[in-house]
Structures are given as C-alpha cells and as structure tokens.
Structure 1
Amino acid sequence: MIPQSCLLIETKKFPILDGEKDEITNENMYGKALCKYLEAQLPSIGINVPFYCNEDWGWWLETDRNGFKMALCIYSDPDANPNPERYAILPSIQNGKKWSWSKFRSIDNSKNVLETIGAVEKLFKNDSDIRVVTRHDDYPF
C-alpha cells in the first residue's frame, strides 16, 4: 500500500439510498450516495468519473485525472447500523511502482495516486457536512 493513500471520512451526508439494499452483493456494503456525490463533484476539480459500480466488497468509482486512470474503492463501515457514517476510500493502485514492458523499467505511479487522493481529500475538507477527514496507511476498518 502507498503510505497515506487511504482516506477515512465521517459524515451523515451519505445515507443508504432507496433500492440500494437490493443492489448490493454483500450485506452492509453501502456507498452509492457517496459515489453519486463524487461523480457530481470531482469534475469541478479536474477529475472525471467515467462510471461507478457495486462490487462484492463495496463500490468501485473509476477516475481519470489528466490521463491518469485509477479507481477509488469505497467501503462503508461494516458495523454501521442502520446508516453508515464512516467510509474508507482507497486507491485501486496499491503498489507505487509497476513494471512497464514497453519502457523496460519500473514506472512510479505513487505521485499520481497521492495527487488524486489529495484532491479528493481537499474536496471532502471543504464540505462542512463532512466532519472528519483523515489519512491512513492502510484500510482503516
């Protein structure tokens, strides 16, 4: 995991949406309201959101920032009842370097990952309805 690439937010802003319980694969893996929020807000800070979808572990939100593509993996607090108030946001790219056969060397993606996470963190911190925003080295739940 890239150090300080995980976010934890606390808010009542993203309740379970109508019909979301029927969409999720596994119990308590909510996050559609947060995905819809990010889909609407991220383009204003230069991050496009081509799509988002439910996965068995949570929600996948595809992002594109200046040609750098990765997803934000969104997890709700598994112990929340009834509405989650804590969400973890992790990058889909967890290793800073990857091998490029075409360049025949390792490519460091950690800067791009951390810049994207930093932009999302700033968006959250500027929203007065999101009371806590913290960074972590790994999955915080």
Structure 2
Amino acid sequence: MDRFIHVRSANFTVAPPEDEHVVNEMYGQAFAEYVQNILRQNNVLSDDVYPEDWGWWVDAEMGNYSGGVLCHRSIQPDSGEVTFTCTLSRETDSYWSWKKWRKIDISSETASLLDILEKAFKADKDISFVCRTDDMLD
C-alpha cells in the first residue's frame, strides 16, 4: 500500500510564530494544521499538532487506529520547489495490544485515513496533487 502522500501548494507558508517552536528548521505547521482540519471534518479524533525534529505530528484516532499523521516539508535543492508529505505513524496494518493480548488489525482504518487525506487534497483547487508512493521522494 502506498502510504506517503505528496502535495504542493503555495498556501502553506511559514507563519511568524512558527519560528519560535520549530525544531531543526522543519517548518510545516500550516500544512499540519490543514491535515488536522481534514481529519476533524471526517470524524477522526485529532487533539493536538506539535513539532518534532523530523517535521510535525498530528494526533489521529479512528476505530482501532491510535497514532498520528506525520507531516514533513522538503525543498528540492535544484528547483527550490516545496513539497509537503504526510504518512501514518503506524508502519504496519496491525499491532500488538498488551491490553487485549492479541494482534489488532487496523488495515481498514489505515486505508480509510489515507483515502480521506488523498480525497481532500484532490478536492482542494489550491493544492496540486503530486503522488502517492510507498516511500519518501528523493
């Protein structure tokens, strides 16, 4: 399954307060908040957005899925073009639950979350959809 969604848009600019809490120049707060808004509009519980040293974390809970959407901003060295990427924090379609003492299948939630994001990106005229891949773009 292609778990990385890459988009481009001029709408996700660096806001002045972002400089105060960004780590390692990993900007992308506007994109992360946009992703959170998409999740909330689709009845996905999303309480928080915060910076990490690799990008931005957006909380996401839906059915058996509990984790986050990872958001990253990269600049192409040759062209200077900015690409925003998001993926899910859980890398597999199941996880071990110590509480339930068994593996929990989250394949339907994983597919739904990625489809929700992809559909919203494609519907937004201000976003040019780049692609959906099984890895980060170089």
Q: TM-score, normalised to structure 2's length?
A: 0.85
Unaligned runs of 5+ in 1: none
Q: 1:19 aligns with which of 17, 20, 32?
A: 17
Relative to structure 1, is the Cα distance of residues 106 and 48 closer, same or farther in structure 2, using a 3 angstrom cutoff? closer
Unaligned runs of 5+ in 2: none
Q: How many pairs align?
A: 137
Q: Which moved more, 1:92-101 or 1:47-56?
A: 92-101
- Map Cα deviations across residues 65-108 of structure 1 (whole Å, 9 max, x no partner): 2463220000101447xx87311101000022222345444322
Quote the residue 2:70 is aligned against: 73
Counterpart-to-counterpart distance in 1, 2:44 and 2:16: 27
The residue identity in structure 2 corresponding to 1:53 is Y
SS of residue in 1 equivalent to 2:19: helix
SS of residue in 2 equivalent to 1:17: coil
Counterpart-to-counterpart distance in 1, 2:120 and 2:42: 8
Counterpart-to-counterpart distance in 1, 2:14 and 2:81: 8
- Map 1:101-120 to 2 at 5 A: 101-120=98-117
Alignment check: 8 A CA contact 2:32 2:58 kept: yes
Quote the residue 2:85 is aligned against: 88
**1:48 is the counterpart of 2:45:** yes
